[in-house]
Chains A and B, each alone.
Chain A
Amino acid sequence: MPDTTRMVLAGEGGQGVQAIAEILAEAANEEGRQALYIPNFGVEQRGGVSVAFLQISDQTIGSPKFLKGDIVAALSDRAVQRTAQYTGPETTFIYDSAMEGVADELPKNAARVMPVPAMEVAKKELQPRVFNMVIMGAVIGATGVITLDKAKAAVEKKLGYKFEKQPHLRDLNFKALERGVKLGSEMLGGLH
């Protein structure tokens, strides 16, 4: 793994990309690593593509944004278009395989293009609303950028107040995360 991992996560508002980025950043910080997360936002109140820029490193992090991501994850068809500019020859491009009509839009210049059946898995095996946890797991599985334990601790920190009231949500989220990690590492294995 390179000493700095740069990630771009993009999706529709409400898909939870900012939450994923924040949790990954928190987890890396808890591991004592350097982390810098910055959301991208426009003037619209709603309806835009939500983009998160995240860097995790063992060294001091320079500029908050970057030109090309090591990981670029697009969770919607518009996000596929929006993130094209951040994809380069070193990029692993992750997208949800349930998306239709994006085949022509997928980056041609990426090192790897990884379809992840996150929505399918979330719908069939879990619950659609933990879709973002499956994606987060897939990113962790594909990069090993943080440990699963730290990811769980960061999820607990962010959502603990919800888990208090509904403990089954903890299991659901953690299961989604673990399932995502498996998907991510399988994809990686299959591509090598």
Chain B
Amino acid sequence: MSEKAVTEEKRVFMTGNEVVAWAALAAGADIMYGYPITPQNEVMHYWTRLAPKYDKKFLQTEDELSAGFATAGGVMAGRKAFTATAGSGSVLMQEPMAMAEMMRLPTVAVLQQRGGPSTATVIYSQQEVTLTTIGGNGEGMRVVYSTAGHQELYDYTIKAFNTAWKYRFPTFVLGDGYQAKMREPLTIYDPETRGISLLEPEPFVGKEGEPGKDRPPAQYRNTFNLEEELYEKVMSDIREFEKVAPEIAEYESMETEGAELVVIAHGIVFRAVREAVANLRQQRFRVGGFRPVTLRPLPVTQIKELVAGAPKILLVESSYGQMARLLKEVACGSATEISTFFKPGVGITAGEVEARVKEIIKS
């Protein structure tokens, strides 16, 4: 048994990609499968630098399709396996992730969103929300954590492994190019010293004993002959997902009580919202902020309460309404006035959010 990578709490200053590699080590990941794409490359670089020291493995595959399938395979062999990708790589990754969804495989994927569509920029966006939450030819039975900086990249990468292995739905950490490449301080820690117990992986195939006699046979299908058979399978997964959704859903809210307008954003854009809300409150504007931490499943109860209580909602994101579509579905039927501020593929600053809020309130 190799020693632990992170033993004591330590303040560090590093890039987000490096954070992900450390977090995967701290989470007890066994192997990473990957294919290079900016801005995710350094997750692989740091992992390959660190992994051998702790008896961990890495395999570079020929593309993202095989990286995704290899991750599924690693999981079936009973290893905590993960991958990381971005942009067009996320598109290719949909096929294996849909299989993971169908076979209920606890894959973990870290996505560092870049500009889209196609090659676009290697810099930043929030344009992989639709793809990550409900991409693939299925019903989007996935867990997606949208992080807002390095501490969360660390916390939620660790959490992603536990969520995946507990609920057996493919789990994603949705970062972006800014979080991938920027340096900022965070505290790394051994999760077990903070009372977080790490779930042990177990193999799906190649188990001890005789199938049907000593244990149930291991049968993992992604192919069905009959519509009815498929319907039963898909509905059973949907029911299970819906049952555990409230346990998984997470959110952050600030000053929403009695607010005249609530700004909703996810991921790194919420940092601009936090700053804007604080500034606006100082100027006596009754403004609050809300952030779904999980984009899938969404914190439905809190969103419904919010739209019932706040007269005005402002949706802000670095895409042309990918988060908004998810939220509007939940808010459907509410009388709240919904405004938007969309900057696809471009970062959003506090000043811009402030200006948009004032425009809405004064109109």
Contact = CB atoms under 8 A, between A and B. Distances in A.
B181 A38 contact: yes
B13 A65 contact: no
Contacts, number: 65
B351 interface: yes
A29 B271 contact: no
Contact of A66 (B38, B119, B268, B349): B349
Given A36-B184, A37-B182, A63 B119 contact: no
A146 B272 CA distance: 25
* Interface size of B as a range: 20 to 34
B42 to A, nearest CB: 12
B340 to A, nearest CB: 18
B322 interface: no
A67 B351 contact: yes
28 contacts: A22-B183, A25-B183, A29-B13, A34-B184, A35-B13, A35-B184, A35-B185, A36-B182, A36-B183, A36-B184, A37-B183, A37-B184, A38-B181, A41-B122, A41-B123, A42-B121, A43-B38, A43-B121, A60-B274, A62-B349, A63-B269, A63-B347, A63-B350, A64-B178, A64-B268, A66-B349, A66-B351, A67-B351
A107 to B, nearest CB: 19
A102 interface: no
List 3 A-B pairs, minimum CB-CB distance, nearest first: A62-B275, A38-B182, A63-B272
Contacts of B183: 22, 25, 35-38
Contacts of B351: 66-67
Contacts of B38: 41, 43
Interface string B267-282: 0110110110000000
B217 to A, nearest CB: 50
**A interface residue count range (under 10 / 10 to 19 / 20 to 34 / 35 or more):** 20 to 34
Contact of A39 (B181, B185, B271): B181
A49 to B, nearest CB: 14
A61 interface: yes
A26 B349 contact: no
Interface of B: 13, 38, 119, 121-123, 178, 181-185, 268-269, 271-272, 274-275, 347-352
A22 B184 CA distance: 11
Contacts of B272: 62-63
Given A36-B184, A62-B274, A63-B272, A43 B122 contact: yes
Given A29-B13, A41-B181, 10 more contacts: A29-B185, A36-B184, A38-B183, A42-B121, A42-B122, A62-B274, A63-B272, A63-B350, A64-B182, A67-B352
B73 to A, nearest CB: 32
B347 A65 contact: yes
Contacts of A43: 38, 119, 121-122
Interface in A5-31: 22, 25-26, 29
Nearest to B180: A38
Given A29-B13, A62-B275, A63-B349, A40 B184 contact: no
B75 to A, nearest CB: 33
Contact of A25 (B13, B122, B347): B13
Contacts of B184: 34-37, 61
Nearest to B271: A62
Contact of A34 (B119, B185, B268, B274): B185
